[in-house]
Amino acid sequence: MHKFKKALTLAVATGVLGAAVPALGQDVKLGILMDMTGPIESMAPGIVAGGELAIAHVNEQGGILDGQTLTHVLADTACDATTAGTAADRLVNSENVVAIVGSGCTGATIGAANTAAIPGNVVMISPASTAGALTTLDDNDLIFRTTPSDSFQGVKLADLLLSKGINEVAVTYVNNDYGAGLANDFTAQYEANGGSVLASLAHEEGKADYRAELGNLASSGAMDLVILAYASGSGQTILRQATESGEFTRFIGADGMVGDGIFNGIDPSSVEGMIITRAGTYEGEGASIYTQLATDAGLVPDAVYSTQTYDAAFMLALAIEKNGSADREGVSAALREIASGPGEVILPGEWEKAKQLIADGADINYEGASGTHEFDEAGDVAGVIVEYTIENGEFVAVGPVE
């Protein structure tokens, strides 16, 4: 059981609250922090679209609080902690958002949280930040996520490979919180259960040439290469150069590698059968409803992290409604209330129903597009990890990793 994250001083926690309360009739603002440029930019549009759909559902069904409009301000983090900090500062202190959806990259989420969200008493829910560093962040119970942490994904990836008889691998990982954390969790589980990591090598993001690193990895004798990096960044470059070298027979990746940008300059047949894991949508009523809602809106319902983003935005709206005002104070506690039982179940799109129940003083329990969100003390959820493969240049879901 995680310890509760330590509280900040009351002076810091309350110092900017007044700026966050709009006058009656004004818009209620959410911030959306996302990596619109940088190494996961190919994923970003689908992620943002999930959050925008949730906001649309709120406004189509009576709006938030006393008929106010829920709006959002989009800011780019570039998957960079410093850039994210600057963007979050604008959202918190200039745009006066009540809460934030985002970011994607863990380093960006932590940078935004430490620079602006935590000092400003602003709740953030990341739909895609998976590194374990988020679990232990000293955040005054303000930072949550709707996707499972890498400590869960790394274990599931290791178990999946061993179940397929893949007992020897080489690993390369991007040298940041995401890559290092996932590599450590994967390696610990893999080796504890009989697998051998013949080589493990960190690499820096943004290089044009990784052939020297690939040569070192290949010299280990491993034929299977695990790439823990980003589909629009180093992961794509490494995969392309590895297919050109012909030194590996099979490629393996995790959620950061799920993006159409991965195929740039690569013959799809050279990565046919690649094994990939990512957080998936559970098979429940909320998932089915979201699929229909997204399809009706012209969106791709299984776009990577779109369901987690929908849930993050919808839950923040529910928390604000439960809190009874656009004041930042109280949103964290309200979020835990609307996301947990007991209470009448609210499914994706059921804003009008939820709004009435809250007005009547009834408890609600949101069951989302990506699953239940019983946040633990660190703001984490368990979630589901799904195996994907590449077939004919497309990502194809195989099923949940048991």
Whether 24 and 99 map to the same domain: the answer is: yes
Instruction: Give the model's confidence band at 281: pLDDT under 50 very low, under 70 low, under 90 confident, else very high.
Output: low
Q: pLDDT (tens digit, 9 = 90+) per residue, 128-144? A: 999 889 999 999 999 99
Residue pLDDT, tens place only, 230-255: 999 999 999 999 999 999 999 999 99
Predicted pLDDT at 78: 97
β-pairing, 123-126 vs 99-102, is: parallel
Going by C-alpha positions, the residue among 145, 129, 123 that lies closest to residue 322 is: 123
33-78 per-position pLDDT tens digit = 999 999 999 899 999 999 999 999 999 999 999 999 999 999 999 9
In-domain check, residue 308: yes
Q: Is the pLDDT of residue 256 over 50?
A: yes
For 337-356, write each residue's pLDDT tens digit.
999 999 999 999 999 999 99
Take residue 207 and report the two structure tokens written for it: 């290089």
Q: How far is CA 137 from the centre of its chain?
A: 16
User: What is the C-alpha to C-alpha distance for residues 154 and 149, in angstroms, rounded to an integer?
Assistant: 9
> 185 and 79: one domain?
no
In a domain, 266, yes or no: yes
Beta strands at 344-346 and 275-279: parallel, antiparallel or unpaired: unpaired
C-alpha 345/C-alpha 362 separation (Å) is 11
What share of the chain in percent tops pLDDT 70? 93
Q: What is the pLDDT of residues 14-25, one digit of tens each?
A: 233 334 444 445
Full-model pTM: 0.82
Tell me what pLDDT residue 283 has: 72
State which residues form the domain around 55.
10-147+283-372
CATH code, domain with 133: 3.40.50.2300
Rounded Cα distance, 331 and 37, in Å: 30
pLDDT above 70: residue 225 = yes
Tell me how far apart the alpha carbons of residues 287 and 282 are, in angstroms, rounded to a whole number: 6
Q: Are residues 155 and 190 in the same domain?
A: yes
| pLDDT category of residue 282 using cuts at 50, 70 and 90 | low
The Cα–Cα gap between 391 and 47 comes to 23
Statement to judge: residues 223 and 198 lie in one domain: yes
Q: Looking at the structure, tell me whether residues 29 and 142 fall in a common domain.
A: yes
Are 256 and 340 in a shared domain? Answer: no
**290-346 pLDDT tens trace:** 999 999 999 999 898 999 999 999 999 999 999 999 999 999 999 999 999 999 999
Q: Which residue is it, tokens 């009008």? A: 352
Number of domains the chain is built from: 2
The C-alpha atoms of residue 99 and residue 124 are separated, in whole angstroms, by 6
